[in-house]
Structure 1
C-alpha cells in the first residue's frame, strides 16, 4: 500500500535563509548609511549657517570700523563697537590680532595685548582674504572651556562693498582715514568665535534620534531573524514530523504483520491493513472501540501494568474468525511509554502462523519420508529376496496341485499377496526416490482429456458423470505428461471410490496469472473428515480397507516435483475439491535429470 505525498495548497516555497538574512543586512546597511549622511548633511547645514552668520558679523564690524575711521572715532569708541557686537546671542568673542597672534583688539578688553595663538599656530592657520573656519575650544566668561566655531580672515576695514559710501563722508576725511589704516592692511586678522552649544545639542539630538531609530531597526531586524530562525526551525521540525509520520505510516501499512495500537484509555487508535486482512474486520469498525470489547480476552489478559513485568512475547493462540474458521496467531503485547515513562497505550503485534505451520508440517513430512526412505532402502533388498523364493514355492505348489483344488487356490492367493507386497515396496521406493521427470511442452487440455478417457469406463460403470472445464486459450505447459496423468488418475480413483455411484466428477483448468495455472478436481462424494484433512498426504494414512495410503502422497510428490502446490478443501455436504497450482515453465533443479531409480 503506497503512501502518496500531497502538496499543500496555499503554501509558497520559502526563500533560502541566507537570501533573507543577506537582504536584511543589506537593508540595514543602507539605512545606517542614509542616517550617517543625514547627520553629516545636518551638521553641514548648521556649519554653513554659522559661516554665514560669522561672515555677516565680520563685514558688519568692518563696515562699522570704516564708518568710525571716517568719523575719526577714538579707540574706546571702536572698543565699544566691538563689545556691543560681541554681545549678540551665540557670539563668544570678536578679536583682532596681528600676524604673530598678539591680540590688538578684543571684545574682552582684559585680553588685549595677550596672545590669541602662537606664531606657529598662526602659520598653521594659513590666513587669507577669504573666510576660513575651524573648531576650537575657548575659555568662556565663567572660566569654563567649551567648544567654539571660529572663523577668521584678514581684517579689511578699508574695502568697500559699493560706491555709495562716498556721500557719507567727504573725500578729505576719507583720504586721511585710509592713510592711517593702510599700514595695517594685510597685517591684522579678525577672529569671530561662536558658541557651538546649540550645534552640539542639535547634533547630539540627531545622533540620539538616529541611534534610537537604528536600535529599533536593529531590534526589528533581530526579531525578524529570530522569527525567521524559529520559523525555519518550526518548518524543519514540522517537515521532520511529517516525514516521520509518513515513514511510520508507510512501515505500518506495508508491515506483513498485523498491528493494533491503543491509547491511554485502551481505545483502539491504529489498525494496519494486515490486521484487517487477518481478522477479516474493517478498521472503521475497530477504531475508537475499547480493546476489551473487540479484541480477544486472551490479548487483554496479556496486557501488563507499565510498572510490572515485561511484555508478552510470541504467545500463540487460536483465533476464531467470523466464519467460524480457526486462525493460528502468534501475538506479542507491549506497553508504549514516552521518555518520562508515562503510559501512552499498548501495541499488539500478531502474525498468521498458517504458513509457518504448513512449513513445519512439510518439514516433518519430509523427515518422515527420509526415515521411510532409509528404512526402505535398507530392507527392500532383504524383503524382495525371500519374496522371490516364496513366490517360487507358491508357483511350484500351484503346479503340483490339481485344478480346482483348495491347495491350488491357496497357492494362487499366496502368489498374489507376494505380488502385492512387492508392489508396495516398489511404490515406497518410488516415493522416496527423486523422480526422473521428462519435461516437455504439452497442451494441458490434452493431458486432462487423456486422463479422463482412461477412467471413463469405471465412471460409467458406477453412473458417475464426468465433466471438464478447459480453456482453449491456455499456452503450452512444461510438464511430464506420464507423471502428471498418473497423479490425476490417483485423484480420479479416490473420487470414484468416495462417490460410490450416481455422482459427478469435474475437472477444470484456468490461468491464475502470467506464470501459473490451476487444475482442479472436484467430486460430489461424502467428503473428508476435518480431523483427517491434515493427514491425507501422510504416507500409509488411509481410510479404506484395501488402500495402501500412498496414492495421495504420490500425487503430492508429483506436483511438488513440478514446482507446484496442492491443497484440498472438503465438506461432507458438497464433496472434496483438490487444487493443483503449477508454473507454466519449470526451473530445472540441479541433478534432477541425472537421478536414476
Structure 2
C-alpha cells in the first residue's frame, strides 16, 4: 500500500511539475508577444468575442490618449468611435476592413488622422474569437505630402516667372513702339485709332497675365467652374516657351475641334499640365519637334471623359514631321 501511495504521489507530482513547466512556457510566450506588441510603433487593439478589450499596446495609448489600465478588460464602448465601429463590425462578420484615413478623436477635442486596418481573430478550427485593429498615425505622412506639394508649387512658380517674363515682353514692345511714334503721328487719325486698338489689346493681355498670377496666389485654389479643358493646356504650353527655346524644342499644340467642358479650377489644371509637360521636357533630348494633342473620347466607362496625349517626335528640321 505504501508503494502504491508513493507511486500515486509521484505521478501527481510529475503532473504538477509538468503543468508548472507548461504554465511557465505560456507566461514566457505571453511576455514575448507582449514585448513584440509593445515595441510596435503602430497602435494595436484586440477584442474578444464578448466585446472586451484584451490587448492595448503603448502606441495605442499614446495615439488615443487613453490609459492601458483603464481599457484592458473593459467593454469596447470605451474605445474611440473610429476604432470601435470597425472592430465591432469585424468581430461580428469576420471580414477584414481597411480605412485609408479616419479622424481619431482624442480627449480634449483634438483629432488625429490615422490609417486603420482590422482583421478577425480565429482559432485553429476557424472559429471567430474576436478582432484586432492596427492603426498608424498619418500626421508625418501628410506633412511630407504638404511639403511635396509646396515644392511642386515653388517649381511651378519658377517656370511661371520665366513664362510671364517672356509673355509680357511682347505687349510692352508694342506699347513702347507706339508711344515713341505718338509725338510725331499724334495728328494722324488712323494712327490714333490703331494706337488705341493695339495698346488696348496689349494691356488686356497684361491684365490677363496679372489675373493668372492672382488666381495662383490663392493657397487653396479657386472654386470649380465649368471651363474648356483646352484653355489650361494652351496656357501651360505657352508658359513652357522659355524652356523650349532654351532646349531648341518646338511644340506643336493641336487642340481638339470641339470644346471639352469640365468642372475644375483653371489655375490648378494649368499647374497640373505644366508639371506633366515639364517632367516630359526634362526627359527629352534637345532639338526637334514635339506634339501635344487633345481629343475627346467617345466613351470612357462609367462616363464620358477626355484624353490628353503627349507624343515625342523624332527631331527633324522639317516642321511637317
- TM-score normalized with structure 1 length: 0.27
Larger Rg computed on CA atoms: 1
- TM-score normalized with structure 2 length: 0.46
Q: Which has the higher contact order (CA 8 A, sep 6+)?
A: 2
Greater percentage in helix: 2
